[in-house]
Amino acid sequence: GESVGLHLPTLSVQEGDNSIINCAYSNSASDYFIWYKQESGKGPQFIIDIRSNMDKRQGQRVTVLLNKTVKHLSLQIAATQPGDSAVYFCAENSGQAGTALIFGKGTTLSVSS
């Protein structure tokens, strides 16, 4: 089965609000985590990543938090915009070069203006 999953299937927010999308993983050996954004009919687009030796990483308007104790990953989007509407997936792998990413089930973010 999938080693990464758990999510809220949908999240609806108002423009300008902050969004938090959650993900749980079960593989303690997972070393590398990535958040992807997928718009309808397109391939996944890289947002931000984090390695297991970190607990927080910030990008432009996005922050990823990693809690290894409870195997939980979250993506925070600041000042959410309508263009952020998409499906968001967390993905993980063991960190070994050449291994595939395992994707979680995804959360659909809807931003209303």
Q: Which residue lies nearer to another protein by CB, 43 or 83? A: 43
Q: Which residue lies nearer to another protein by CB, 52 or 63? A: 52
Q: Which residue lies nearer to another protein by CB, 77 or 106? A: 106
User: Residue numbers of the site for another protein (CB under 8 A)?
Assistant: 2, 32, 34, 36, 41-46, 49, 89, 93, 95, 97-106
Sheet holding 19-25, edge to edge: 4-5, 19-25, 72-77, 62-67, 56-58
Q: Tokens 């990953």 correspond to what residue?
A: 73
